[in-house]
Amino acid sequence: MQSLEALTREASALASNPMNEGPIGFAMTPAEGEVSRIMQVCNACRYCEGFCAVFPAMTRRLEFGRADVHFLANLCHNCGACLHACQYAPPHEFAVNVPKAMAEVRLQTYVDYAWPASFGSLYKRNGLTLALALAGGLALFLILALMLQGSLFPSAVSSHGHDGNFYAVFPHSVLALLFGVVFVLALFALGVGVRRFWRNEEPGTLSGAAIGEAVHDVLTLRYLGGGHGKGCNDADDAFSLARRRFHHLTFYGFMLCFAATCIATLYHYAFRLEAPYAFTSLPVLLGTLGGIGLLAGPAGLLWLNLKRDPQHGDVAQRPMDRGFIALLLLTSVSGLALLALRDSSMMSLLLAIHLGIVMALFLTLPYGKFAHGIFRTAALLKWSVEKRRPGALLVDD
Ligand code: SF4
Ligand code: SF4
């Protein structure tokens, strides 16, 4: 049996060879080559086997081609545990930094599998400045449109103002069509990308048990527990469940807001119940709870992002992370302000600002940080299917 050191030298030589090819025949990029090299070291070491799904998935492989590298990179939740546990982490000459190498490949996954392909480069430009500029530009456009109509302030419309009715400012049908089309297009673009990712290396046949396990792992964010349930490493080697909790607040806050919108649409079209709805009604209660979650979650994630150890992940992607977090935060702040002041003369102005921000969020969904949740879900499902296949090792046909 080869020693770990000999395996590492072999892996380094493979990774530095520009003609290094994966099983599907394309030369690897430096980022892919680095994950391939590190996985060969880890496969000899296996110390971190119980930390997350990456390591058991790794042990089912003898070599790491492009498809394997992208699968494993998206299975990694960037918890940082294996970096702090690793005896071969920098400054050791093996320079094993799994979370950083995986993060760099994840960005490449989003770019390579983007639909349309020419939009893939947007992932590299989708930073904080672009997010704020897009939201500001769209909000300004809506404000100017209302000014030209003379309906920016309700006193110009009637003595009663808009009575808290958003659809007196922008008709419900126009909003539903505009936002519905953009949201469906965003999901379609992500869906095409994930389908390509799935087909890159078919894991086997889907089963109810595999789907159930993947859904459970996604909804509980099992792998942000660090393998022992104590959580991630953020600024140092101390464990914390903060990142899992802030992710949960963000995700479930988003889902509650989405549910509130769907129920309001049902009220409007199916039951002919028109807005504004009482503060105690189901859409408003769900929207308020969701807005609070969407405020606390992204605020916490931004705080963690600012203090995160630069060795975790890829610092070049932080503008993309922060752009997405900023849009989520602005969505909740403007939404809650709109609800609180819906009966005031500020309602039209706040509505235009809120809609501009939400539209910027929807437009950037398929080409920004949101993609990590979609590709990671697909990777978890792949792993749930793959682990149920008989035989310990996967070999290329
Ligand atoms: S990250 Fe380090 S300690 Fe963990 S399996 Fe890889 S080489 Fe071993
Ligand atoms: S950073 Fe965390 S999730 Fe990623 S491979 Fe290491 S232990 Fe697994």
Three-state SS string across the chain, please? Answer: CCCHHHHHHHHHHHHHCCCCECCCCCECCHHHHHHHHHHHHHHHHCCCCCCCCHHHHHHCECCCCHHHHHHHHHHCCCCCHHHHHCCCCCCCCCCCCHHHHHHHHHHHHHHHCCCCHHHCCHHHHCCHHHHHHHHHHHHHHHHHHHHHHCCCCHHHCCCCCCCCCHHHCCCHHHHHHHHHHHHHHHHHHHHHHHHHHHHHCCCCCCCHHHHHHHHHHHHHCHHHHCCCCCCEECCCCCEECHHHHHHHHHHHHHHHHHHHHHHHHHHHHCCCCCCCCCCCCHHHHHHHHHHHHHHHHHHHHHHHHHHCCCCCCCHHHHHHHHHHHHHHHHHHHHHHHHHHCCCCCCHHHHHHHHHHHHHHHHHHHHHCCCHHHHHHHHHHHHHHHHCCCCCCCECCC
Residue 163 Cα, ligand 2 centroid: separation in angstroms?
52
Tell me which residues have their CB closer than 6 angstroms to ligand 2.
48, 51-52, 54, 76-82, 98-99, 102, 223
Q: Tell which one of 45, 46, 47, 52 to mutate to probe ligand 2, the residue whose CB is within 8 A of the most ligand atoms.
A: 52
Task: Evaluate: CB of 98 within 6 angstroms of ligand 1.
Answer: yes
Task: Evaluate: CB of 35 within 6 angstroms of ligand 1.
Answer: no
Q: How far, in Å, CA of 321 to CA of 301, rounded?
A: 9
Q: How far, in Å, CA of 122 to CA of 102, rounded?
A: 20
Closest residue to atom 2 of ligand 2, CA basis: 79
Residue 383 Cα, ligand 2 centroid: separation in angstroms?
15
User: How much is the pLDDT for 336?
Assistant: 97
Beta bridge partners of 394: 61
**Ligand 2 atom at minimal distance to the Cα of residue 99:** 1
Percent of the chain, pLDDT > 90? 68
Closest residue to atom 7 of ligand 1, CA basis: 42
Task: Evaluate: CB of 76 within 6 angstroms of ligand 1.
Answer: no
pLDDT at 114 over 80: yes
Model pTM greater than 0.75?
yes
Closest residue to atom 5 of ligand 2, CA basis: 76
User: How much is the pLDDT for 340?
Assistant: 94
Of the listed ligands, the closest to the CA of 72 is 2
pLDDT at 188 over 80: yes
Q: What is the mean pLDDT of residues 251-264?
A: 95
User: How much is the pLDDT for 159?
Assistant: 44
The pLDDT tens digits of the residues spanning 279-325 come to 999 999 999 999 999 999 999 999 999 999 999 889 999 999 999 99
User: How much is the pLDDT for 143?
Assistant: 93
Q: How far, in Å, CA of 250 to CA of 273, rounded?
A: 29
The pLDDT tens digits of the residues spanning 141-165 come to 999 988 888 878 766 444 445 677 8
| pLDDT, greater one: 377 or 397 | 377
Q: How far, in Å, CA of 16 to CA of 36, rounded?
A: 11
Of the listed ligands, the closest to the CA of 376 is 2
Q: Tell which one of 59, 223, 234, 247 to mutate to probe ligand 2, the residue whose CB is within 8 A of the most ligand atoms.
A: 223
